[in-house]
Every structure is written in structure tokens, then in C-alpha cells.
Structure 1
């Protein structure tokens, strides 16, 4: 039992370290000029941090689900604890890895979109959808809307990615940039939510099941996606009108 607790606490510390690196560097690519050296540098640091945090979140979730002892005895609703800190944490870890994988791959294969159809990338997307579906079902069963919300957001994001990957015609030039950006924001949403769970249960355990607190990263992240998407379309519209040939 003591060894299990020590292992779990070690994973928490490592999760905090890697998560702090990712969450701090996450804002670098957003505020720097797209494609510039600083943008790529901050992006790589954020991705590596999130890869570590996502992997550790999966490990902690498995320990919460199948560990030899119950952690946090102050939590009396063990079913809901299993849902939030087990299945949802597992899903968020997989979702974070999925966004990192797609965000990097969509840029790497900008000129070879069919490469995203390979088993290696499709397996990651499938893992996100399956874990998200189970998270949503479990959340519906225990009547916790947050689990359903984050599952819905992640599954819809994967379907949007698949639409880009499998579309028959060639997308407009630069479409992969928007896909890359959405993956970056999605990566931040899932990582912030998973990271929040680690501190929330320790700092304010009385609010650990409050969906309003948990939903914060999703609300902010989706708002950023909408804002930058609208801004990008407004920027692209004048450019398109300038390049359109005038009638003779």
C-alpha cells in the first residue's frame, strides 16, 4: 500500500512538472508570429510538456481505477470519484496525446494529406473516440454533465479532423494552419482540465465535483478557437478579393 501511494505521489510530482512546462509554453505559439522561429520553439516545448503530462495522466488514472487502495478518503462518492479521476482523467490523457499527434502531423504532412490516413494516426484518433465515448457514457450514468461535455467536445474535434483527412478534394491552401491551430488549443483545453484535477482535489476538495469549475478550460479554449477562426476569415477575405481576377 505504501509503495502504491509513493508511486502515485511520484507520478503527481512528475505530472505537475511536465504540465507546468507545457501550460507555460502553450501561450508562446499563440502570441508569437505563426511560422517564426520562436513560434516553432515554444510549440515544441509545449508539445513535449503535454506529451509527458498526458502520459502521466493516463498512468494516474489507471492507478485510481485499479490501485490497491482508495485515495482521498474524504471523497465519499466513490463512483463519481472513479468517473472524474479515473475514466475522465484517462480520456483527457489520451485526448491530449491525440491533439499533440495531430497538431504536429498536420503540419509535417501539409503537402501529403493522405499520410494522415495511415494506421499510426488513425489508431490515435480511434483511441480518443473510444475513450471519449466511454467517458461520456459513464458521465451520463452518474449524472455528471462535465464528463458528457468534455467527451462531446473531444469526439466532435476528432470528427472535424477526420473530415479534413478524408475529404476528396484538395483543401484551400493554408487550411492545415487552421487545423494545426485548433489542435493546439484543444491540446491546451484537455491538458488544463487534467492539470486542474490534480490541484483541485488537494486545494478545494469541497468543490471537486463542481462542474462550473471544471468547465472553465473548455469555455476559454472554445472561445479562443471561435475568436481566432473569425479573425482568420476576416483577414483572408480581403486577400481573396485582391487575388480574384476582375471581369474584362
Structure 2
């Protein structure tokens, strides 16, 4: 129990760092020093939080203690606090890693085709598929929906990586979409898994699950339209 609680504290600190820093590069001038510095802080904070979420998910699945004993449906508990948290941790790390890679390898898509980047994306897909299958098995459509988002996101990333001749500036849109996706997955994990530990009666509240996606997708559309306008101009 002490190990798990220590992981929770570290996860909260790392996650809070990412959640706060996440909004600075969105508001700051794109490509400027503040944007780059706080973007890295947000990414590394979320990646650490994602790794800790994976560790907590494994403890929830295979640890000796029964977590949240008031949660009587243990199969659903394993789905939400085990397999889905494992998947969301991998998804958050995958988005952050890909978003940073878009800047690091903006002119070298061959690097993105190597195992260094392909393996993390494959891990996201595998965990998403299992999350969806498990969610379907326990009758939880929300798990299926969240899993589908990750699969579609990885397919879109692969489409860019393997596309024959993208425009020179297309990596910018990929960078923004990946890091906004990182924010969506992290906020979804916080609200649907972290916050629910304090208020378990709202575990099936669709507003909690849909909120981060609505905000995140709106920002993705905004930046996509804004980028398209600049190209036309």
C-alpha cells in the first residue's frame, strides 16, 4: 500500500506540472523560446505521469491489495483503473513522444519509421484494442469509445509518416495535433480515473469523459483552420 500511495503522490506532482504547463505553449507565440521551453516541460511532465500511471495500473491489476473496496463491480474496476489507465498512460507517452519527434525530425521522416518510434505506437494500438475488447466484454461503451480514439490517432500518425510527399510544413500540424492529443488523454485520465477515486458516484458521468475531448478537438480544429488560412494567404 505504501508503494502505491507513493506512486500516486509522484503521479499527481508530475501530472499537475504537465497540466499547468500544457496551456503556456498554447497561449504563447508559436516557435518562440517560451513556447519551446514550456512545451518540453509539459511533455516530460506528462510522460513521467504516464509512466507512473502504467505502474499504478499494473499494481491495481496484479497487486495484493484490493483498491477502492467500495467499488463493488471488480471486473469493471479492473477495466477502468487497470486496463484503461494502462492504455491512457501509453497513449499520453505516445502523443508526447510523437509531438517532440515532429520537431526533432521535421525533415527526416525516415527516422520516424524506425523501431524507436514504431514500437511505442504499436504498444498504444495493442493496449487500445485490449481496452476496447475488455470494455465491450464488461458492457462499458465508454472504454470502447476512448480506445477507438487512440487507434484512429495512431492510424493518422502512420499516414503522415508513410505518406509519399507531404508538404514541408505539414509537420507543424502533426506537432500541434499530437500535443493537443497528449492533453486530451492526460485530462481524460485525470478526470475519469484520478478524480473518480474521490467521487466514484460520477464514474459514468458522460460530461466528465467528454469534456477533455470536446475542448481538445475544438483546439485541434482551430489550429488546423488557422494553419490552412496561413497557407492560403
* 1:138-153 superposed matches below 5 A: 138-153=134-149
Task: Quote the Cα distance in structure 2 between the aligned partners of 1:209 and 1:14.
Answer: 26
2:39 pairs with 1:68: no
Aligned to 1:179: 174
Task: Quote the Cα distance in structure 2 between the aligned partners of 1:214 and 1:81.
Answer: 16
* 1:202-241 superposed matches below 5 A: 202=198, 204-238=199-233
Aligned to 2:22: 26
Q: Note the C-alpha offset of 1:195.
A: 1.8
Q: Note the C-alpha offset of 1:50.
A: 0.5
Query: Where in structure 1 do 4 or more consecutive aligned residues deviate above 3 Å?
Result: none
Q: Note the C-alpha offset of 1:224.
A: 1.4
In the TM superposition, what whole-angstrom CA distance separates every residue of 1:173-220 from its partner, at most 9, and x where no partner exists?
210000000011010011111122212221x12112333312221222
SS state of the match for residue 30, structure 2? coil
Task: Quote the Cα distance in structure 1 between the aligned partners of 2:150 and 2:10.
Answer: 25
* Coordinate RMSD, CA, aligned: 1.1
Bigger Rg, which one: 1
2:84 pairs with 1:79: no
Aligned to 1:54: 50
Task: Quote the Cα distance in structure 2 between the aligned partners of 1:36 and 1:89.
Answer: 34
Please point out which of 188, 191, 198 is paired with 2:194. Answer: 198
Q: TM-score, normalised by structure 2?
A: 0.96
Please point out which of 135, 150, 154 is paired with 1:154. Answer: 150
8 Å CA contact 1:16, 1:195 repeated in 2: no
How many aligned residue pairs are there? 232
Task: Quote the Cα distance in structure 1 between the aligned partners of 2:103 and 2:200.
Answer: 41
Q: What are structure 2's unaligned runs of at least 5 residues?
A: none
Q: Note the C-alpha offset of 1:163.
A: 0.5
Q: Note the C-alpha offset of 1:110.
A: 0.8
In the TM superposition, what whole-angstrom CA distance separates every residue of 1:57-106 from its partner, at most 9, and x where no partner exists?
00010011111121111111111111011000000000011011111111
Q: Note the C-alpha offset of 1:9.
A: 0.9
